[in-house]
Amino acid sequence: MANRNFNGVQINQSVTIVEQAGADIKDVRNRIMAYDKDGNVVLAADGSTVLVGVALIEAGINDISGVESGKVNAGDDVDIQIKDIGYILAGGDIAKGDEVTASSGLAVKAETGNYVVGIALSAVEKDEYCRVQIAKYQKA
């Protein structure tokens, strides 16, 4: 086996990335995001697509009202948390330890074959914020 030297290679340890919104989104905050066909981010419709991460307060808004509403327009920058522990708005009841996926950008309990965004670290009801250890994979 060949020896490999990675001197000078940078590994980005950032918890977040910035991506462009692929559509107008009424409220992006604490929603699960996925890439569209153009490589922009949109609300993850369901667990059938690879999930990118969880949207935070958006970075590229053009209107100060967007800070409070979470609204972004197509082309705006969106800050997305891709690892560690974050909060996702729940779309249904979630138990501590459940694997969670997306339904219209909200966290729901994952089923076999779904792409998982993470493991619930808190038990919540619909419309509450669920603490999630982000760990993206497909549920067997």
Domains and CATH numbers, the chain: 16-138 (2.40.300.10)
Nearest CA-CA partner of 55 in 47, 40, 98: 40
What does the CA dihedral 34, 36, 40, 44 come to, rounded to 10 degrees?
-30
List, in sequence order, every residue forming a beta bridge with 42; answer none if it has no partner.
34
- Residue 21 has what pLDDT? 96
CB 80 within 8 A of CB 15: no
- Residue 114 has what pLDDT? 97
Query: pTM here?
Result: 0.86
Quickly tell me which residue has 């067997």 as its tokens. 140
Q: Give the strand order in the sheet containing 16-20.
A: 16-20, 77-81, 51-55, 32-35, 41-43
The pLDDT tens digits for 11-64 are 778 899 999 999 999 999 999 999 999 999 999 999 999 999 999 864 444 444
How far is the CA of 94 from the CAs of 77, 102, 118, in angstroms? 30, 12, 12
